[in-house]
């Protein structure tokens, strides 16, 4: 695992991979970013996703799998289906003037509210489905580029056969992440609640601090355990439970390696975002997807090296271009 998850090589090979199939990888990364919503990329491909996601990574700690945000892929479930909506849609889903002059007991208000909730839910499900479909093909595209040195849009949009497994995996990973975080936050939450009920102000910061101290390590530990789930679903064709077992098993004893790898890749993505902002913000449209594609190709290669070893990589076109595993 230490050799496979080498961040320096991953960035170098990711750059070369992007050169081999720039347009499909860029479009795939762009779509992954657009469907990220308030969560993350679906698998924790770097440090950014772990803070924002549940199981994704899977596309990607998306911290899913595939992403440049603090992933991993590990993705998508913490915020639920509503988290799949782009932030601008979430912000505009209930404009204040829609309810102007309405009372909560008014049947018209209830009808408008119900229609609005249904529309938001439909949009959330649609974005979630789109993400699961594209994420599957996106990881396949990485594999194609790594093995053959070529990539096409047909591969990017070929994820229909594993879309259900990817969706179930993301929901499973999200449920695990959410559940464990809630359990970790419970002691601090109880202390804060007691402070609020008993009007003991000093207990509120104590409870909040305890919750933070307990939640962060649990979030990191669980996120790293789910880090490679997206790739297990796509590369190895595993179902949700088998992908969980595979990802958790690969992380066992290797969490420090995965954490360092994810942190470095997250810093790379952050640096790319800064460069984009310096280009009058418009540059983010270019540097964001490009950096994401580089990070995601690197993560897929690392997964394939960890599971197949150097022998399985003997005929990879990407290694011929980059000069080997150095």
pLDDT in tens, the chain (326 residues): 888 999 999 999 999 999 999 999 999 999 999 887 533 334 444 444 443 443 444 444 343 444 434 344 444 444 444 444 454 444 444 455 555 555 566 777 788 888 989 999 999 999 999 999 999 999 999 999 999 999 999 999 999 999 999 999 999 999 999 999 999 999 999 999 998 888 888 899 999 999 999 999 999 999 999 999 999 999 999 999 999 999 999 999 999 999 999 999 999 999 998 988 888 767 778 999 999 999 999 999 999 999 988 788 888 999 888 887 76
The range of the structural domain enclosing residue 244 comes to 7-322
Contacts of 88 (CB under 8 A, 6+ apart): none
**pTM, rounded to two decimals:** 0.78
According to the model, what pLDDT value does residue 59 have?
43
2 lies in a domain? no
1 lies in a domain? no
Report the distance separating Cα 314 and Cα 56, nearest Å: 29
121 lies in a domain? yes
What six digits make up the tokens of 236? 């190895």
Among residues 305, 286, 317, 275, which one has the least CA distance to residue 29?
Answer: 286
243 lies in a domain? yes
Q: What is the CA radius of gyration of the chain?
A: 21
82 lies in a domain? yes
What domain count does the chain have?
A: 1
Contacts of 191 (CB under 8 A, 6+ apart): 203, 206, 207, 210
């Amino acid at each position: 695992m230490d050799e496979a998850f080498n961040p320096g090589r991953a960035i170098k090979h990711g750059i070369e991979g992007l050169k081999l199939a720039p347009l499909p990888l860029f479009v795939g990364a762009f779509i992954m970013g657009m469907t990220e919503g308030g969560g993350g990329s679906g698998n924790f491909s770097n440090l950014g996703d772990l803070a924002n996601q549940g199981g994704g990574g899977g596309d990607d700690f998306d911290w899913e799998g595939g992403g440049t945000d603090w992933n991993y892929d590990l993705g998508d479930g913490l915020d639920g289906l509503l988290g799949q909506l782009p932030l601008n849609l979430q912000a505009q889903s209930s404009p204040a003037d829609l309810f102007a002059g309405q009372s909560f007991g008014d049947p018209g208000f209830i009808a408008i509210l119900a229609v609005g909730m249904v529309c938001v839910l439909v949009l959330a499900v649609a974005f979630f489905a789109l993400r699961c479909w594209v994420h599957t093909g996106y990881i396949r595209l990485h594999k194609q580029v790594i093995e053959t040195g070529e990539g096409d849009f047909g591969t990017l949009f070929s994820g229909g056969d594993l879309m259900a497994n990817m969706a179930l995996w993301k929901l499973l990973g999200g449920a695990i992440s959410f559940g464990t975080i809630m359990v970790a936050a419970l002691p601090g939450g109880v202390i804060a609640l007691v402070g609020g009920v008993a009007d003991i102000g000093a207990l509120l910061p104590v409870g909040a601090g305890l919750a933070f101290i307990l939640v962060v390590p649990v979030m990191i530990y669980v996120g790293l355990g789910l880090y490679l789930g997206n790739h297990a679903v796509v590369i190895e064709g595993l179902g949700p439970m088998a992908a969980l077992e595979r990802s958790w098993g690969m992380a066992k004893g290797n969490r420090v390696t995965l954490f360092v790898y994810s942190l470095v890749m997250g810093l790379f993505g952050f640096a790319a975002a800064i460069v984009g902002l310096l280009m009058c913000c418009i540059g983010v449209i270019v540097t964001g997807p490009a950096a994401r594609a580089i990070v995601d190709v690197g993560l897929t290669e690392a997964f394939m090296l960890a599971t197949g070893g150097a022998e399985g990589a003997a005929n990879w076109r990407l290694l011929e271009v980059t000069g080997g595993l150095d």
